[in-house]
Chain A
């Protein structure tokens, strides 16, 4: 029995020391010849483009019927407590359109996407002052003012989202993110977010009956995304 235990112990110690060898770094130092040579070979294997294009994820955001009961009906000047008063959980009615994300990746697709939406972004920005004026004057009960902007993270993902507006002041729009299932890191639906009006992409005003005004970029992307899928 003792002999078996010794054998087992010896085997265990032996295996442990072997695995410790395997666990050690393959390369002893950053500037030694072996690591430099391995790195050069790795670069050769990667070819002319040893990088990954950072992906941009774009959402079409067809969710115009968010019901935000406590959205402000008027007020040109509202403090942060108004934004905080917006519900975290922005419930959509059952007939709300499904979110249909459009993924674009690589410089070519991103350039194509930017070029495609540019005229619609211009149109959204052109009509935004009138929509803002109506919001500041006070929208009828049940109507909600949402704007569209891009969120970015350090991993390079860009995502186009809705923000339910709570305040427009001194060239900045403040509200809560109203898009579900974000892929951009560090944000979630319901987060308070503030950004300059110059970063606005589009706007929309939702009505209680499910209709909407604006959202020209979203409507275009809906169609564009469908075309790309076919």
Chain B
């Protein structure tokens, strides 16, 4: 019995540690940019874009593809929804810090994910998403930004772990 309890304890403690560190706000630097030179462009083929997606990109998370399904301006707030799909055959570990996500407006202004009074990101998690996606599994993350002025019709969405979604059309309500 003691042995069984010890085994249970051994299982419980890592779970606890994992749960505590899950939201730690440690920015993860990822390749957010592709340089403009034609000598250095990425060679990965673009993934097929589903009909409900505004844009799709391969990600650095093995087997996972990201679709921007909404990029909507409502008043002074711009909300982005990104669906992650695991198209691989193994679990894709997704790790996205909202500290490193932003929207860029024609290359002159950068809008970061909004935070509430407690310093939590107004997003699908308070600081970061760190999940395993089983094969065929999907997960939608979202985040809110200050909206660019109304005359700005397109913007670039940068989410860590994947190439920027360039020139996304902003959906106005």
Which residues of A are in contact with B by a Cβ distance under 8 Å? 1-2, 5-6, 8-9, 12-13, 15-16, 19-20, 22-27, 29-31, 35-36, 38-43, 46, 50-54, 107, 151-156, 184-187, 191-195
Contact in complex: B5, A5 (CB < 8 Å): yes
CB < 8 Å neighbour of B104 from A31, A156, A184: A156
Give, as a whole number of angstroms, the nearest-CB distance from B31 to chain A.
Answer: 8
Given A9-B12, A12-B16, A155-B32, A51:B126 Cβ within 8 A: no
A184 and chain B: residue at smallest CB distance: B35
B4 and chain A: residue at smallest CB distance: A5
Contact in complex: B104, A38 (CB < 8 Å): no
Given A151-B35, A193-B37, A194-B38, A156:B108 Cβ within 8 A: yes
Chain B 24-54 residues near chain A, CB threshold 8 A: 31-40
Q: List residues of chain B with CB within 8 A of the CB of A154.
A: 32-35, 104, 156, 158, 164
Distance A23 CA – B21 CA, assembled complex (angstroms): 8
Contact in complex: B5, A2 (CB < 8 Å): yes
Which residues of B are in contact with A by a Cβ distance under 8 Å? 1-2, 5-6, 8-9, 12-13, 15-16, 19-20, 22-23, 31-40, 70, 74-77, 79, 81, 104-105, 107-112, 114-118, 120, 122-126, 142, 144, 146, 148, 156, 158, 164
Distance A20 CA – B18 CA, assembled complex (angstroms): 9
Contact in complex: A12, B13 (CB < 8 Å): yes
Contact in complex: A12, B35 (CB < 8 Å): no
Given A5-B2, A30-B144, A187-B35, A16:B19 Cβ within 8 A: yes
Give, as a whole number of angstroms, the nearest-CB distance from B15 to chain A.
Answer: 5
Give, as a whole number of angstroms, the nearest-CB distance from A14 to chain B.
Answer: 9
Contact in complex: A20, B19 (CB < 8 Å): yes
Q: List residues of chain B with CB within 8 A of the CB of A192.
A: 39
Given A23-B23, A156-B104, A185-B33, A15:B111 Cβ within 8 A: no
Give, as a whole number of angstroms, the nearest-CB distance from B68 to chain A.
Answer: 13
Distance A192 CA – B156 CA, assembled complex (angstroms): 27
Given A9-B12, A46-B146, A54-B108, A27:B122 Cβ within 8 A: yes
Contact in complex: B77, A36 (CB < 8 Å): yes
A-B contact pairs, 27 of them (CB 8 A): A5-B9, A9-B9, A12-B9, A12-B13, A16-B19, A19-B22, A23-B19, A26-B126, A29-B142, A30-B81, A30-B124, A30-B142, A39-B77, A39-B114, A42-B114, A42-B144, A43-B77, A50-B111, A51-B146, A51-B148, A54-B104, A54-B110, A151-B35, A154-B34, A155-B33, A186-B40, A193-B39
